[in-house]
Amino acid sequence: MGPVIELRTPAQIEEMRPAGRFVASVLTALLEKADVGVNLLELDELAHRMIREQGAESCYIDYHPSFGASPFGKVLCTSVNDAVLHGLPHDYVLADGDLVSLDFAVSVDGWVSDSAVSKVVGTPREEDLRLIELTEVALAAGIEQARSGNRMGDISHAIGSVAHEAGLSVNLQFGGHGVGRTMHGDPHVANDGRPGRGLKLKPGLVIAIEPWFLHTTDEIYIDADGWTIKSKDGSRGAHSEHTIAITDGDPIVFTARD
């Protein structure tokens, strides 16, 4: 059997909007708080407090997929410098020039939204700002291709083209995914691919598109904490993600920040 692809009705798409707005508001607050001298555990605590106040449900705290060493136990991914995905918040104080990626997913009224953003705290390195910008440009390029009648390969190709034009290699082990009642579903959205190939995109398909790039490698390993994904050569990573819906017209970006 192939993957089960669920399409959402227009009414369900409307029901998914509050989760997207909430995720966007939390990431906006976290971006403001993330600064030199702030502990990663403080960021997780802020996200946790906002979840409680909203009456939302974390997608991370009990999350235990096959690749995770144990249930995640926190509500936010905080990936710093050579860490790029699934960063487990720990007792670390952000230092001047650190590149931090924040990835956050929750369920509101039974519907999930998932989004990620990257930031340099303090004095930035130009190449780090450029890397973050490339993930954002790639995300926008992928979203632009998320239209009814296109194929999944069009999204993947748009993302990969941004990376390759900048001289970056692309890891295909982790990418975007279907979103709905749970955080991770079919289809998989690779960060590189061939145009005109793969699943035909139809209205009602809801996916997370998430380019993540490393400065000088596409090779990764899992840290001793059993979760945090790091670059093999120690180079830094950046990550941008939005949850979107395909419609008869322009895609809806549920997690757009003001």
Report the binding-site residues.
Answer: 86, 103, 114, 177, 184, 210, 241
Q: Which residues contact 226 (CB under 8 A, 6 or more apart)?
A: 68, 69, 70, 88
Are the C-beta atoms of residues 5 and 198 closer than 8 Å to each other? Answer: no
- Compute the distance between CA of residue 230 and CA of residue 227 in angstroms, rounded to an integer: 10
Numbered residues of the known binding site for substrate: 86, 184
Dist CA 196 CA 32 (whole Å): 40
Binding-site sequence positions for a divalent metal cation: 103, 114, 177, 210, 241
Identity of residue 213: F
**Cβ burial 48-71 (10 Å sphere, 16+ → b, else e):** bebbeeeebbbbbeebeeeeeeee
